[in-house]
Amino acid sequence: MKLYIIFFLLIFFYINSNGQTLPVGFPIFEENVRRNQLNVFNDSVDLSLRPRIYFDNSDSNKFFKVLPMIFTSQLNSNRPYGWGNYGMIPNRGIQQYASFGIYAKYKFINIQFNPEVVVASNSPYPGFSNEFTPRIISDRFRILNRDDAPERFGEGSYRNIWWGQSKITFQLGAFETGISTQNVWWGPGQWNALIFSNNAQGFPHLTLNTSKLAKTFIGNFEGQLIMGRLENSGLGPTQFEDVNNRFFRPFTGDWRYLNALTISYNPKWVPALFLGFTRTYQQYNEDRGNSLRDYFPIFDPFQKERVFDNQNSVDFDAEARDQQLSVFARFVAPKAKAEIYFEFGKRDHNFNWREAIINPEHARAYLFGFKKLFNVPKENQIIQVRGEITHQQESVNRYIRYAGLGGGDSWHTHYQVRGFTNYGQPLGVGIGTGSNVQTLEVSLVEKLNKMGILFERLENHQDFYYRAFGQQKEHQPWIDLSVGFLFDKQWNNLLLSSKLQLINGMNYQWQLHPNSTPDFPKGQNLFSVHAQTSLIYVWNQPKSKND
């Protein structure tokens, strides 16, 4: 309530303020910036490092701006669905999200106060069954005990007020440094990112990043270096207390130190190409030392074998650190009004460079996607076709590397440092541990208005499925097939972004239909509706460099 009072007082006094900045994944506007780049190419917009400043077209070193106000309502009828929503929890029932704030600049000082409020009904729903055999439950908890992915966030309704997309930074030339709780997005993905996205609640971090292009004689560079703090949820993974008490390995209560780096390069000779890499380390704080290397492990070698200091893989694993890295590329073809991109990630260190070359499939994840615009006879209208595939499931080399069908660790999991998460939600891919998704959208777009249809196929927790059920034919993979209807509309400074998604969960939670028999197996399906609407009010429409 105090935040709302402050907000409306600011509106009263600063109703005529101009301009705004946008969080990563902000509805309508961020997609529009990316779409505009295909019409009027500008090599200064990479979009592999976000958030970006969309409004700063003033030469003044003193100004004050009111940020966009957004209210999001979400409904999941029978089970949770959806990701990439700033810390909104996996929820059955109604969930509300609100964000508002201000931005002020004085000379080289930037201050942004942009809190977030989440309220969810958090109703129980049919989740992982406690009627499976102890072996299958144990296989499920082998992954859950290396992750932090609770089915339900406590009992009863859920409420959270957080600093949200806030920061205090100091700017010098093309560089910016300070403290922030903003979500960051690293990589070229549209719906997912392997490392950082807007899926989980933002985390407090120190940042050193480029605020605009660092131009050199060989091309343009952008980058960010982060030192942050991540928290565990502390919650049991299933909705059955007896199962949690029997199989769950409780958290220690310690927080995790995060060190991360990304660099993006736009070659001078190929201005439509963007190349980059990311690397992250996390470690429980009680395991971290106080040397410079302990604070910046991202500069460590990429292999476990250390000839120069006689360190072997056993010594390396004893440091209890979790590494992820990825490389990515994006190519924009403005003449074709199209773009293609990919990101390839590795979760575990290779023993040496030889293993990295002959076994690149080990502990990998990847995504790739595209966008294509087609002109139509009516002025200002276009057809937008875009798609993306995200694959986290372990590769088939696990049959060779590990005994049986068990496999190793899934993407975003680790046997010592549990889950690349913040408060129980993945920082990168939010579709579920060991899951894959394919998404295709076809839309009719006119400026900020859009009508479209979305097709999605989600393969849930494939790593667990093959570990627990192997090659049998009775329990089939849990696959969600869905169709969504998209509608965005602008009325001057008020905008609506909406989605209605119909989901058929085939073999939901690997359950069998009551009429199923071993000779004639039949999976249990669950139909559900996912509906989301966002109302956005902007005090002055943001202008990107492409607009």
CB 254, CB 285: distance < 8 Å: yes
pLDDT in tens, 337-351: 999 999 999 987 777
User: pLDDT at residue 8 above 50?
Assistant: no
Tell me, what's the pLDDT at 14?
A: 36
pLDDT in tens, 374-403: 999 988 899 999 999 999 999 887 777 776
Task: Return the structure tokens found at 383.
Answer: 């057809």
> Is 473 inside a domain boundary?
yes
> Is 417 inside a domain boundary?
yes
Shortest CA distance to 435 belongs to which of 454, 456, 416, 455? 456
Best-predicted range by mean pLDDT among 174-178, 305-309, 362-366, 440-444? 440-444
User: pLDDT at residue 535 above 90?
Assistant: yes
SS3 142: helix
CB 185, CB 25: distance < 8 Å: yes
Mean pLDDT, range 126-132, rounded to an integer: 95
The answer to which of 18-32, 82-96, 365-379, 442-456 has the lowest mean pLDDT is 18-32
> Is 198 inside a domain boundary?
yes
Mean pLDDT, range 246-275, rounded to an integer: 95
Expressed as residue numbers, the domain containing 400 is: 2-537
Shortest CA distance to 419 belongs to which of 227, 230, 180? 230
Mean pLDDT, range 87-92, rounded to an integer: 94
pLDDT in tens, 479-489: 999 999 999 99
State the amino acid at position 324 in one-letter form. Answer: Q
pLDDT in tens, 208-231: 999 888 889 999 999 999 999 999
Give the number of domains in the chain. 1
> Is 424 inside a domain boundary?
yes
pLDDT in tens, 55-84: 444 555 677 888 999 999 999 999 999 999
The answer to which of 41-55, 157-171, 218-232 has the lowest mean pLDDT is 41-55
SS3 258: strand
pLDDT in tens, 416-472: 999 999 999 999 999 999 999 999 999 999 999 999 999 999 999 999 999 999 888
> Is 547 inside a domain boundary?
no
Mean pLDDT, range 266-285, rounded to an integer: 94
Task: Return the structure tokens found at 161.
Answer: 């007020």
CA distance linking residue 364 with residue 307, whole number of Å: 25
User: pLDDT at residue 311 above 60?
Assistant: no
CA distance linking residue 77 with residue 85, whole number of Å: 18
**Region for residue 235 given its phi and psi (left: phi exceeds 0; alpha: psi -120 to 50; beta: otherwise):** beta
> Is 546 inside a domain boundary?
no
- Give the CATH number for residue 280: 2.40.160.130
Task: Return the structure tokens found at 483.
Answer: 């169709």
**Cβ neighbours of residue 403 closer than 8 Å, sequence gap 6 or more:** none
> Is 545 inside a domain boundary?
no
Tell me, what's the pLDDT at 18?
A: 38
Task: Return the structure tokens found at 31.
Answer: 């997609």
Mean pLDDT, range 124-137, rounded to an integer: 95
> Is 133 inside a domain boundary?
yes
